[in-house]
């Protein structure tokens, strides 16, 4: 392994350890709060995620990061508020998602993620995970938002 990849992997692992410990405590931490303005935390909060990134989350991330979590995932990635949650260390789950996706540390095998799906999710999270009016997504809506989602869904 070349030294720059080793350093990037080490940084990603350190970020994962610190974020996971704060993320798991933030779920029960009454002082933790969404990072970006008012975010409604409720059943429709999931429906505020635009269809294209929601399709990626559902197909890939929620194999482990569901509600309840599976395979020892430290937090869910189901609702918009899950992604915007700020832990005790001040970082957000969104920052962790970006770091893990950019370093290709996530998803863990055997789950895979196509490059187009990775970019769809990264673009949305980098933009601050903006919400939309609560809506029900269909494959057609996801494809209209982002033509690359067709590859994600099939």
List the pLDDT tens digit at each of the 154 positions of the chain.
Answer: 555 554 444 444 444 434 443 333 334 333 344 444 444 556 668 899 999 999 999 999 999 999 999 999 999 999 999 999 986 678 999 999 999 999 999 999 999 999 999 999 999 999 999 999 888 888 655 565 554 444 443 3
Whether residue 91 is contained in a domain is answered as yes
Q: Are strands 33-34 and 85-86 parallel, antiparallel or unpaired?
A: antiparallel
Instruction: Domain count for the chain, please give it.
Output: 1
Whether residue 35 is contained in a domain is answered as no
Whether residue 145 is contained in a domain is answered as yes
Whether residue 11 is contained in a domain is answered as yes
What domain range includes position 21? 3-28+43-153
Whether residue 36 is contained in a domain is answered as no
Whether residue 34 is contained in a domain is answered as no
Cα separation, 6 vs 1, whole angstroms:
6
Cβ neighbour number for residue 118 with a 10 Å cutoff = 18
Q: Which residue has the tokens 């970082």?
A: 91
Cα separation, 57 vs 65, whole angstroms:
9
Cα separation, 18 vs 96, whole angstroms:
10
């Amino acid at each position: 392994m070349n030294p720059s990849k080793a350093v990037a992997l080490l940084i990603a692992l350190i970020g994962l350890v610190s974020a996971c410990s704060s993320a798991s405590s933030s779920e029960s931490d009454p002082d933790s709060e969404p990072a970006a303005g008012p975010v409604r935390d409720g059943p429709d909060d999931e429906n505020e995620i635009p269809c294209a990134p929601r399709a990626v989350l559902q197909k890939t991330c929620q194999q482990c990061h569901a509600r309840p979590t599976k395979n020892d995932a430290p937090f869910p990635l189901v609702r918009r508020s899950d992604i915007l949650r700020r832990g005790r260390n001040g970082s957000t789950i969104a920052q962790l998602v970006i770091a893990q996706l950019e370093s290709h540390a996530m998803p863990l095998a055997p789950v895979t993620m196509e490059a187009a799906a990775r970019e769809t999710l990264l673009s949305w999270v980098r933009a601050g995970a903006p919400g939309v009016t609560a809506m029900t997504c269909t494959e057609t809506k996801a494809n209209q938002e982002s033509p690359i989602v067709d590859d994600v869904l099939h």
